[in-house]
Structure 1
């Protein structure tokens, strides 16, 4: 039986290899409509690093980008406080990425309300629920 709330990648086993097929119909535009989005130069300024370092953080799966009209943005909730990165957010992103989830799927998971937390995983990553979100991300990766 498939959970009605399942949204993750579908795993397909062929010749001993596991392939991932991304889930269609993720509407990030409406999900992130009310979020503060920062263009990459603003993220670099916030973190007090060159913009190339922001690209490195994205490539290392410690940050995610959301693309709108050809411009790359980072939702501000993915950043920590006081010009820092959030280690829990970066950890959750990396665990999900290593489990085969794409950027859009990870953003969808982090910003979709979850009644069992309660709230959204991205909010829990900034509070007492961070370890639970990471634990769930690890479980989803299997």
Structure 2
């Protein structure tokens, strides 16, 4: 995908068993978080895993869901969503996930909408 020009931000990756433990939820509930787009994961390194940066206070980052939906509506695959969120975004001077974690969801989603 041409929108990603820089290497993704380094992050730890959490597998499904990690998420069950951290979130204190059943495996079925964790799967629903993916189905309902509260989380997005990748199998590029083996088992399904989520960047640890996608959690805050042991819960999915609240602003992540809407951003995932915008990117998926723009045609992004799960891996492309993750890569875009972790990569440095020149127009905001940091990675979109860093901006989301700092409470700048409107700015991130505005940029994401232009990617369609």
- Unpaired runs of 5+ residues, structure 1, are 9-25
Correspondence 1:106 to 2:102:
no
TM-score normalised to the size of structure 2?
A: 0.85
Greater strand share, structure number? 1
Aligned to 1:72: 48
Distance in 2 between the 1:90 and 1:108 partners? Answer: 16
Distance 1:118 1:102 in 2: 24
Q: CA deviation at 1:135?
A: 1.6
CA apart distance, 1:80:
2.1
Instruction: Tell me the alpha carbon deviations over residues 70-90 of structure 1, each in whole angstroms, 9 at most, x when there is no partner.
Output: 311111111122x22212112
Q: TM-score when scaled to structure 1?
A: 0.71
CA RMSD of aligned residues (A): 2.4
The alpha-carbon distance between structure 1 residues 52 and 107, as it changes in their structure 2 partners (threshold 3 A), is same
If asked which structure has higher relative contact order (CA below 8 Å, sep 6+), I would say 2
Instruction: Report the alpha carbon displacement of residue 138 of structure 1 after superposing the two structures with TM.
Output: 2.4
